[in-house]
Structure 1
Amino acid sequence: MGFFPFRAADLAIDLGTANTVVYLKEHGIVLAEPSVVTLETINGIRRVRAVGDDAKLMMGKTPDNVETIRPLRHGVIADLEVAEEMIRHFVAKAKANAGVRLRGSPEIVLCVPANSTSVERRAIRDAASNAGARQVSLIDEAMAAAIGADLPVTEPYGSMVVDIGGGSTEVGVLSVGGLAVTLSTRIGGDQMDEAISGWVRRNHNLIIGEATSERIKMEIGAATIAGALREMAIRGRDVVRGVPTETTISQEEVVEALRETVGQVVETVRQALEITPPEIAADIIEGGIVMTGGGALLEGIDTVISEATGLPVTIAEDPLMCVARGAGRALEDVPYRGVLHAV
């Protein structure tokens, strides 16, 4: 134990649409849970019943007086009050997970999409301040992803990162500690899930829930067909008869269902390359494109982007944690402090 056992616990939080990852200064990543809150209404009073993993298990299975809410949409806060409760819960749980006794108000670094408005940025700041932050700094998601993926962001060398999250895709071209080009599209893992459930309804007359769509994406989802095709049994409610039923979906169908969504991600990458300064473009030919975020785990998406751009594409190590790890480094390391901005 140090000389000051009760110092404040500074944190970096990747507040994502699908998952929240918390990085505790000097401890690394201490928490990664779904961005879901379950609220219970008793005698007209709403109170939080569960947050994170426990709340996600209840999605689509709650009675009338209980509802599960995802307080973020497309990487920005949609429900300020619930987001505040969620941040407060995750901060307390992160401290408990790290097993450290920390007091005082922490400094919190939060990741935001590049195209978020000043109103959306202020909402994120207010949620963190109300949850007990002493000081709130923001960092662009693309910049945090690049730092987390060990790209040379402070050097006079161009690099490109594509971060596919739950609610948005961030494309950043970085050099000398700043973003030379940044594009953000509100397409991500959630839109992939919606595309799968829409396809299943149209082609199999079957209504499936959010959790089932996500499971299909994670188990047999792919951006292109490579190797042996796989199949998966899915259960849901028959549209015509209204009774629970089971059917089988093939990987080929999932690829077709995701074609449009993957195409929009590829188009965003191409648009970013078209407006990249020529000297930085020359560096990208050598260094290629680095992919981060949960969407980078979709089988074959690196191949599709590589074929569309003619550039080498690599997936960062542990892509789900890259943004939080990068934000944490910006909090800890003096050379990166310049990439943080106040609101």
Structure 2
Amino acid sequence: MGLFDFFTTDLAIDLGTANTLILNKGKVVVEEPSIIALNQSSGKVIAVGEEAMRMHEKTHHFIKTVRPLRDGVIADFHAAEQMIRTFIKKSKLQGRFMVSSHRMVICVPSGITEVEKRAVRDSAEHAGAKEVYMIPEPVAAAIGLGIDIQEPTGSMVVDIGGGTSEIAIIALSGIVCDESLRIAGDIFNRDILDYMRRQHNLLIGERTAEQIKFGVGSAITELDDEPEDYVVKGRDLITGVPKIVEVSYKEVAFALDKSLTKVEEAIFKALEAAPPELSADIYDRGIHLTGGGALLRGLDKRISLKTKLPVHIADDPLRTVLAGTAEALVNLQQYKSVLLY
């Protein structure tokens, strides 16, 4: 290792709509919400990640919170650049010496456009990257699951994140057929928010909707291990005063049903597009479920009942994509054919 290498580092980044994870030398150094708080007038960064999330939907007119990514891609270039730069600093990669990032591998949705790719690349380069590579999320998820994507055997991955649901059938180091659906965690939150407004006349924010999803989120109305009803605090739409209601997992399953049906339809589209020999492989291997959406209670059972295929949930769904991205970073030549430039 030369002196130059000592002052450089390679990063694997899962730049997600909901959360950003950064891995350096096999260790997760950042795992925080993808959000930044800025001064309204000066544009100066006030907080990033967890601290900014605590401010979200509670700010006054001097502070604004921004989620730079929407639907899995950069929607606010300036805020994204500042967020990435701050996360790199927070990862303690910069101490007494100025440490620059030599290479970055960033996972992106499989349906990303050239304009969106350019936005990701420019943000990374402005944050200090010398070389930027991108890897499609379902491919990174497959690698993270331990699947040998170079084999002539089909594997189906369903990665439900914050902004997109990525569905892909992978074989011979390539995506044979895929569906990129902009229905995922953020839409699920909105479904819950709308349901609370319609059914309980209760106005809640995005953060509370997400907490309900974590607390009693379910994809089916019959669970073996039923969670207790969740206490929700919000504003009564009729009286205008704060009130409390209790929500059951069955209500959340009902609220999410339409969006989950669209995810299932996308899964069927991908299955229908698969060559028959790969269909036989998927019948044997089943569907691999990963991403934050995999934590939704009963989702594996629901998909299995609809497709009549076995569904396997990743051991660590939230970090599977990051693990695959890190593996691609370590073995760039081996995975060169699946990387985007």
1:262-273 alignment runs, 5 A limit:
262-273=260-271
Letter in 2 for 1:318: D
Letter in 1 for 2:192: I
Q: Deviations over 1:159-211 (max 9, x none)?
A: 01000000100001001111111110000101000000100000100000111
Tell me the distance in 2 between the aligned counterparts of 1:200 and 1:328: 40
Structure 1 counterpart SS, 2:9:
coil
Specify the alignment match of 1:76 in structure 2: 73
Specify the alignment match of 1:36 in structure 2: 35
Tell me the distance in 2 between the aligned counterparts of 1:269 and 1:141: 16
Distance verdict in 2 for CA 1:100–1:46, change over 3 Å = closer
- Residue 31 (structure 1) shift: 1.6
Contact 1:152–1:159 (CA<8 Å) still a contact in 2? no
Please state if 1:123 is matched with 2:119: yes
TM-score w.r.t. length of structure 2: 0.95
Contact 2:195–2:255 (CA<8 Å) still a contact in 1? yes
Tell me the distance in 1 between the aligned counterparts of 2:132 and 2:250: 46
Structure 2 counterpart SS, 1:252:
helix
Letter in 1 for 2:141: A
Tell me the distance in 1 between the aligned counterparts of 2:97 and 2:134: 26
Contact 1:6–1:104 (CA<8 Å) still a contact in 2? no
Specify the alignment match of 2:204 in structure 1: 208
- Residue 251 (structure 1) shift: 1.4
- Residue 214 (structure 1) shift: 0.5
Specify the alignment match of 2:14 in structure 1: 14
Tell me the distance in 2 between the aligned counterparts of 1:215 and 1:45: 32
Please state if 1:53 is matched with 2:50: yes
Contact 1:59–1:68 (CA<8 Å) still a contact in 2? yes
- Residue 40 (structure 1) shift: 1.5
Letter in 2 for 1:270: F
1:134-213 alignment runs, 5 A limit:
134-213=130-209
Letter in 1 for 2:136: D
- Aligned-CA RMSD value: 1.6
Contact 1:331–1:337 (CA<8 Å) still a contact in 2? no
Give aligned pairs, total.
337
Distance verdict in 2 for CA 1:29–1:100, change over 3 Å = farther
- Residue 6 (structure 1) shift: 2.1
Structure 1 counterpart SS, 2:100:
coil
Tell me the distance in 2 between the aligned counterparts of 1:72 and 1:291: 23
- Residue 3 (structure 1) shift: 6.0
Tell me the distance in 1 between the aligned counterparts of 2:194 and 2:93: 41
Structure 2 counterpart SS, 1:187:
coil
Distance verdict in 2 for CA 1:77–1:286, change over 3 Å = same
- Residue 114 (structure 1) shift: 1.2
Structure 1 counterpart SS, 2:58:
coil
TM-score w.r.t. length of structure 1: 0.94
Specify the alignment match of 1:239 in structure 2: 237
Distance verdict in 2 for CA 1:102–1:339, change over 3 Å = farther
Q: Deviations over 1:129-154 (max 9, x none)?
A: 11111011111011001101111211
Identify the match of residue 216 of structure 2 among 207, 214, 220. 220
Contact 1:9–1:102 (CA<8 Å) still a contact in 2? no
